[in-house]
Structure 1
Amino acid sequence: MARRGVLRSCGVLVAGVLLALACRPSAATILTTISSNPDLVLFANALQLSGAADLFNVSETQNLTVFAPSNAAFLSALAALKLSQNDLVQNAGSMYPILLYHVLVGATDAEEFSTNLTSRATRLTSGTTTLTVNVQRTGTAVRVESLGTDANVTTANIAAGDSVIHIIDNVLVPFYPTIYSSIIRQSFFTRLATAAQISGVRLVSKLTDPLTAWTMFTPINVAFTGYLSTFGLNFTDISQLAAFPAKVRATLNYHIIPSLATGPFTSANFSAAPGSGLSLRTLTGQNITITKVGTTYYAIGPSNNATITLLDSPAGFTNAATYRSAIHWVNRVLLPPPLGSLSAALAARNDVTRIVGAINNETTYSSALTDPNFSGTLLVPTDAAWNNLLASMNTTWEVFLSNKTRVKKILELHIIPSVGIPLEVDTLVNNTLLATKIGANTLSVFKPNDAVTMFVAINGGKGNATVLYKEMILDTELATVMFIDAVLIPGDISTAPIGTDGSNPGAASTASPSFVLLLWSALAAALLYVFGSS
């Protein structure tokens, strides 16, 4: 009896153990758990395509926390970055570091996160630095803040062996999706954000576009104290700049350099520059110089200098895992050179000497160069544009200038009078007709998109010219200067090759047909009549 009782007891114990094992979920890795969830199909595909799958399939004893973006989160992130699934599939390895940015060391259930905003180390490193995300629990809700985006946990505590998975509603990114997001996500840039809004919707639109490829020097809040003083304004109230939108826009454009085809300008470019520094041409066509003294970088302008306090903050992601833009923090607002006249604006560049020579040689508009009250827009072909015209006319600069009537008419096609508000690139509208000193409706604006602005000579005029940079705004705000890549020609000016004496045989022949030409024309008409009659 005793033996049977023992056996009965052992049988009950074994049955209990078997029942417990049957009720316990089967051990699973992170990868198998993710792969079996229909809301994480895109995340599972990203792990496989990027080569990160093996890291999540080591064993069920891995002890990690994974924030897994849902399918909808992935699609939303692709749209926000203006990338397609095909883009990422073709460059799948670019997803690898981003996926590691979603993983924390140690399994943490939702209820275990702190109610205080807490920095947590991820599995992603940059050099010797481990990148972090901030996590905070409010009641049962959990929010995750990354460098470039924020996300909310929508489904918590999915067990994966010894690890835990939380589904989130956004993709966490270790970069800024746009330049503007780098500004508004940092408390150091509240004044810059206000200044950008004051400058107008066009600039904000470019800053918020993930495809924008710029290098920008971003002034921190304290930098605006000195800037406000240049207007004689209160040091603390940035909203006062709303009275000067054009100047604010010109100032911010002076902090922006178009990126190279190979990418933005970074500390690597600055370090490789010669001892004199790296000269960079801004959106306004004016230059700033980046120099290095010891371990510190400086941005040098003609009016003031700034210390670069933080380098190489990335923005705008490509399908090749590179960045379209770079942001460098500066401790002062860089002031564009004073532009009291057209002469001052033209002197800011070394590649527009031809038009200055033409204006002074012809003399009609030479006084406008130094007139502080000049009102309008001057289109300025670069020296290269004038050289191209000379080559097409097979002449020299001296011979070209000798025909002052021709020079005057060409110059007049590049002067656009205005009353009050001069032209600005961002405010030009496609197909707008413009009056110049030649007359009404002699130029047309061609602007297929915000990246391209062209002036087209019409009403018999010849040529089109692309605006190379943003405009320079004179201090009076009555005039602007735009640099263009071609010389525009009025309708009554010939660009046929001209003689060494400045005459134009082609134009003369058209104006006064020779006797021989008239004879041949009469003979041709007679022959046509004879053969036509037969």
Structure 2
Amino acid sequence: MRTLLLGLFAASSFTLASCDDDNDDITPTPNPSQNIVQVAQGNASFSTLVAAVTKADLGTTLSGIGPFTVFAPTNDAFAKLAAPFNNAANITAITDPAQIATLRGILLYHVLGRNVKAADIANGSSTATTARPASTVGGATINDNTLYLPKNSTGVFINGGTRVVTADVAASNGTIHAIDNVLMPPSQTIAAIVAASASRTTGPEFTLLLQALQRPAAAAILTAAGSSSANVTVFAPTDAAFRALLGNAPLSSVSDADLTAILSRHVIGTGRVFSSDLAAGTVTTLGGPITVAAAGNGFTVRGGTGTAANIASANILATNGVVHVIDQVIRP
């Protein structure tokens, strides 16, 4: 196992985007003599991570020669997860091999095979291939081992919603960057996320969006949302948003031309645009420009007419893009 992982680390590639040090709770140490595992063991903020590394049998690997970069979730980050991955005691008690394998895959999604410090990271948005082996389904490779690393004036983010809270915690075999969320590898395309949400028995969502996408006139948009090779951003209106648009009328009352014009305004076809990438101004969608405006700690998006939509839930990572849930339909 160690040889395999070291080979993966050595082969991993990256182009990175930025880093800030915003947190004094985890203090970087100059000229370290301890490896990554030892540094984590000596810091109470990483006790859950240490338990996870031990349970996943990655301690020997991450104590090796490296070099490695580890985006390290703090205890508070793990506490946001559901049991049994939410604290050190629960993780230590795991005996199910499937859960251990899941944990190992999650941890490898936090590891790069080079020593990347804050000064090495350039401004802008970029990607990094992690040590997690990419999955395959039906012979096709699934993009579930890539990190997206946008940087703006407020800091460094990973996959849009996770922030580097302390950079450059040095170790003898690499660098630790503390982060405020556990990074979860994506497992579904955007189309699959919409379909799964719509089919939930409790609290289904996106049922009207799914109906709209399944109309023959929207075939090209549905194809993009379902393609494993796509790289798109989708603003996904809730059912309440569609009902506000339709009133008492059924979705079938919207003409094919109008439906296509509306749905096209919800898709950015040129890549993943995370909430941390957004800025006041205009963004080009498949159907033309939309206006982005600051609103409190977030942003609104608006088409040519209609009410501006709030981003209710941001940065839902898919294997082929990213989804932002919005509370109004964007109108042409």
TM-score (norm: length of structure 1) = 0.32
Higher helix share: 1
Structure number with higher relative contact order (C-alpha < 8 Å, ≥ 6 residues apart): 2
